[in-house]
A and B are shown apart, each in its own frame.
Chain A
Amino acid sequence: MSNTTETKETPYKPTSPNSKLDFASIWEYAPAPESNDHVEIAERYELFIDGKFVKPSKGRYFKSTNPATKEEITEFAEATQADVDKAVKSARKAFNGEWSTLAPKTRGKYLYRIARMLQERAREFAVLESMDGGKPIRESRDVDVPLAAAHFFYYAGWADKLDYAFPGKKPEPIGVCGQIIPWNFPLLMLAWKIAPALACGNTVVLKPAETTSLTALKFAELVKDAGVPAGVVNIVTGAGQTGAEIVNHKDIDKVAFTGSTGVGKLIQKSLAGTDKKFTLELGGKGALIVFEDAPIDQAVEGIINAIFFNQGHVCCAGSRLLVQEGVVDLVVQKLKDRMETLIVGDPLDKNTDIGAINSGQQFDTINSFLEIGVEEGADVYQSKCSIPENGYFIRPTLLTNVAQSNRVVQEEIFGPVLTVQTFRTADEAIDKANNTPYGLAGGVWTDKGSKIFKVGAGLRSGVVWANTYNKFDPTSPFGGYKESGVGREGGLHGLAAYVNLKK
């Protein structure tokens, strides 16, 4: 009884619909850091070529820092032309040799082994991912690593069933695949690239992003442990120049890239006139369309997840909120209240909602977009949470009073920054949602099923999340329309990126 009385005296009840979610004055979170005692980080990592860890030909290394502390954690080898050439040759040798003579089911069983070993070492990979890239441990533990393992598990099963995937055609492997992945989901993007490529009988040369190469090199250890034949998986570290060496190498048959639209266009251009195949997974500017009849609290949770998941470093992030006029004040108020509850801080703390911005460079990019927003006339709202003094952190941010033509509405910010616009009719919402060069993902919130299908059909984007957002699964194809890319990853459709179809 006395408890009930006390609750009544509390000015705000966190769960009541029209109050602030004032958790902080009711209780405080004690630190709950995930231990990193059990993970080993070497002082230096070499290149992984032909099943061996080898020194880079020019002997150059670059440092990798923890963005939450700005402390150097290790260094990686810089692969130059000679190293990339060696990696491609080793992949070619494996493709022409042992790998192509294996029974498809054996190929699949190697992938199953990898999936299992990833699960066994899940905690280690999660901690490393958070230390190297800054993402909250809750996400690396519950999303990145389990999904990476699931991806290998899913594609393992395809290896001996490819004849059923393309009606009327006979799929054949393409050959040596050059794969370049970004820093926002390092291990997961590696899985998205390597699992289907190997399942289809290809061999790969993969370059992780220069700020997040750690889990890729740990993965190389795992490939070795799993007994995958030498040369099937090669991992070369480095920056953009290393990537360019892969793209332009004459003996690469296929390029798979995930990253910015700008770099994607450069890659497409440098492949002009060649017969190399390519798939591109590029940027986005996802719209979140919230109708008046939406379950508003659910929608607010969805918006929070859409834009603040992984610090907003998500190509399919829902970074443009479109709210129907009648509920804009309510939605924005609830959104601000919910933003106040978000904990920004130590990526290794299990309470952390938003970790560190991946790098100093990205930190600057996001801040410069905030300045652009102000210049364009936007009102900036940031939550009042405390943030660590060291490291790269940005508070969750709303930009209101923006126009469709503003750069902050048109361009990908790739950070925890959400723009807010309104609409009156469904058609206006669809028009605004489609009015960027991108077409990766979009969200719709409404209680009316028929409206979901109508709006979903109108959205020119590869993924539509209805009454949810930022959900991923190995069985679910992912990829963009327009300038968000070419091709799909995941699911049956993701196989097409790694086969040549013969009749």
Chain B
Amino acid sequence: MEHLEVLKTYKIYVGGNFPRTESGRYYKVYDSEKELLANACLCSRKDVRNAVKTARGAFGGWKSRSAYNRGQILYRIAEMMESRRAEFESQLSKIGFTATEASADVNASIDRLIYYAGWTDKYQQVFGSVNPVASAHFNFSILDPTGVVGIFAPENSPLLGLVSVVAPVIAGGNTCVVLASEMYPLPSIIFAEVLNSSDVPGGVVNILTGKKEELAEHFSSHVDVNAMMYSDKLSAEMKKLIDENASTSVKRVIKKPVEDWYHEKAQDPYFIIDVQETKTTWHPVGF
């Protein structure tokens, strides 16, 4: 029986839904043979703003989840990824990964999720403190998520790189707006489908596709984005633009230069605490 393949429409992921870009614009995504793979959404300033609003709305609920629950949900993402591995591998193969490489990329992505799932209820213990103040007070410091984080996902590691930057941010109770790899955006949308079926509340991870060149300005100047995070080497102009815009609202800019996402240095709890605020509480001790 003849079967004409049903091609998938790749949309963006905002607030747990898969809308198209409000701009109606698209750009063409090609495979390694220069054949058309899909029309991806070319997101606009308005898409960034919608996503930030959604991320802000989801923040209070997500940060209030217990550490145990966040860990379970990250683990669930790994489970769902395992069950969808064929689709990830197939997609990665189309953009130039060999079968072995694609499989290794999915394996490493799953393992990375489990790595951070395990950290959710431990980083407070390692990086928080009880402080022996000299007065009659009980004093302790905990880590509290920074808020809404704008993420530029790594350009050349469309799955493992993406997972490696998103997992620690949400493990710590932040919500995020991610701009996927510009040239290889499709794995990010498959990842969004995994998130969508993994008990991750809508709005915790929002994934946009489009051009960094266009959207860097809008991510970095949005005053309700508390932090910007990227790991690629950006152009000097873009780096400066992001820093300058960040200064208008004292936004944190976190640069995590990573070249090899398989390297052991590509995961550690400092990825989590880079987007945490230290909160110190005092209370008198007495009768």
Contacts and interface: CB of A to CB of B under 8 A. Distances in A.
B60 to A, nearest CB: 8
A272 B250 CA distance: 12
Given A169-B270, A464-B280, A477-B280, A261 B250 contact: yes
B219 to A, nearest CB: 15
A476 B131 contact: yes
A501 interface: yes
B133 A476 contact: yes
A432 interface: no
B278 to A, nearest CB: 5
Given A273-B239, A473-B133, A265 B280 contact: no
B278 A437 contact: no
Contact of A483 (B129, B250, B268): B250
Contacts of B284: 467-468
A463 interface: yes
B79 interface: no
A476 B139 contact: yes
Interface residues of A, number: 48
A273 B268 CA distance: 26
A425 to B, nearest CB: 15
A482 interface: yes
A229 interface: no
Interface in A427-475: 437, 452, 456-457, 459-468, 471, 473, 475
Interface in B205-242: 226, 236, 239-241
B8 interface: no
B280 A463 contact: yes
Given A465-B281, A478-B280, 10 more contacts: A168-B268, A269-B244, A273-B244, A466-B282, A468-B283, A475-B134, A475-B139, A477-B131, A481-B277, A503-B265
B222 to A, nearest CB: 14
Nearest to A452: B283
Contacts of A473: 131, 133-135, 139
A167 interface: yes
B247 A265 contact: yes
Contacts of A471: 133, 135, 137, 282
A411 B146 CA distance: 22
Contacts of A481: 144, 146, 277
B131 A491 contact: yes
Interface of A: 150, 167-169, 261, 264-266, 268-269, 271-273, 280, 282, 437, 452, 456-457, 459-468, 471, 473, 475-479, 481-486, 488, 491-493, 501, 503
A441 to B, nearest CB: 9
Contacts of B135: 471, 473
Contacts of A168: 268-269
Given A264-B250, A475-B132, A486-B250, A273 B243 contact: yes
B141 interface: yes
5 contacts: A150-B134, A456-B281, A473-B139, A481-B277, A491-B280
Given A468-B137, A473-B134, A476-B139, A462 B247 contact: no
B126 interface: yes
Given A468-B284, A473-B135, A483 B249 contact: yes
B249 A462 contact: no
Contact of A462 (B64, B240, B268, B277): B277
A492 B128 CA distance: 9
Nearest to A168: B268
Contact of B247 (A272, A479, A503): A272
Contacts of A167: 126, 269
B272 interface: no
Contacts, number: 118
A475 B226 CA distance: 27
A475 B133 contact: yes
A491 B250 contact: no
B252 interface: yes
Interface string B57-71: 000000010000000
The 9 closest A-B pairs by CB, nearest first: A273-B240, A272-B243, A268-B247, A473-B133, A269-B247, A272-B244, A475-B131, A464-B281, A466-B283
Interface string B85-113: 00000000000000000000000000000
A280 B252 CA distance: 11
A168 B268 CA distance: 9
Given A462-B277, A475-B132, A437 B137 contact: no
Contacts of B250: 261, 264-265, 268, 280, 282, 482-486
Contacts of A261: 250
A265 B249 CA distance: 7
Contacts of B133: 471, 473, 475-476
B49 to A, nearest CB: 19
Contacts of B64: 457
Contacts of A461: 279
A462 B278 CA distance: 6
B246 interface: yes
B248 interface: yes
Contacts of B236: 273
B279 A464 contact: yes
Nearest to B142: A457
B282 A479 contact: no
Contacts of A486: 250, 252
B280 to A, nearest CB: 5
Contacts of B279: 456, 459, 461-464
A437 B226 CA distance: 11
A482 B144 CA distance: 12
B286 to A, nearest CB: 10
Contacts of B139: 473, 475-476
Contacts of B144: 457, 460, 481
B240 A272 contact: yes
Given A150-B134, A467-B284, A501-B270, A493 B247 contact: no
A485 B281 CA distance: 18
Contacts of B129: 477, 491-493
Nearest to B141: A477
A72 B144 CA distance: 47
